[in-house]
Structure 1
């Protein structure tokens, strides 16, 4: 028999799945994927050719990529805590907040699908971290700069996850969602650093299908916004527990 506590715990599960997929789609976005090899090479203090041909260079780049992911995760965790705190403060107005947040996310989704274009979302805002290539601390700084400055390209997808974190209105649960998002965005960086020669073909394929990836991102955003407006997360969570009872033990 399902209890209210079980349903409440399960509401985090679909949000975590969405956060993971959102992180992966952020990595595949047109302003991230194309710059991954030169960015990684710069962080490791090597050339792209060395990254492709030298195993020792890939080890150096993998270490730098780890600190880079740690830097961007730091920012995302802080954002998760901040938005969860905001959600708690606005708990009395949560229905209005969720409707506004959901509607905004649906607008972003329509932009990516191609229903219409929003000018400022087609521009990138980058923060340079100076000449920090080749050091772990420099890679960490670049991770911080990436998380803060790679907007508005990451903004719409990240905004959807921050909206979910605010909906949770719990610091731990909000931080968990942003940690999962950082995982989805960060793991591909580590994979490319470790296996760049093997992944060159796959990355080339993804670059050729950027438009389709962008539409998938838009569909995800539009769906998340609609679920926030209609309260479908609770229904989806109930369905998850009914279909997969073992999930009740994860809460």
Structure 2
């Protein structure tokens, strides 16, 4: 399978298993500080309530996603609506790496909370940015350093076709792909932070810090989040939520 050089640079920047931050990326105009994008409604009752329904098997974009054995996950990491603890305005994504929670703030003083898993790269960036763009079922291109350590990954090495701007290789999208069903790309001041939110087939890593990767969600959760946050959604990554008294009158607070 062949892909263009532009697409290659984009998907290589999502190579999140050994290192989210090892590949080139594009620069774009920043929209930080501008008006927040419109919110997507909470949705139907099927989105919340019985976790067996939330994490049931589903068919998405031609792929079968298996049910999650929810009895093996701490219930606090189930997707749920709670009172907004972040002090951030509606329509903001907040990741608290100290608690392994991701919040999507909503109107009415509420937030949707998702459990996340973190790798070492998930702790390497903190601050404010925007979700600049999103991708469904991304391909995975393991960095060359990882392939050198794990020769069995040689089949996924990216290769430029001689005399062209086309590339081939990489792991095809699918349920075993380390990037899962979706990837969200975080930019700051118009530049790629190389910080990613992505799905994962490894539901057992939620609520834990694993050896590698950025911020991973259960595939059912990353699909739900993807559908709720448009491009340019503001994001805050912090090692601990501030008390409400520490949030300034502009709502910006301190990271």
TM-score, normalising length: structure 2: 0.28
Kindly name which structure, 1 or 2, has the bigger radius of gyration based on alpha carbons.
Answer: 1
Please identify which structure carries the higher helix content. 1
Please identify which structure carries the higher strand content. 2
Give the number of the structure with larger relative contact order, counting CA–CA contacts within 8 Å between residues 6 or more apart.
1
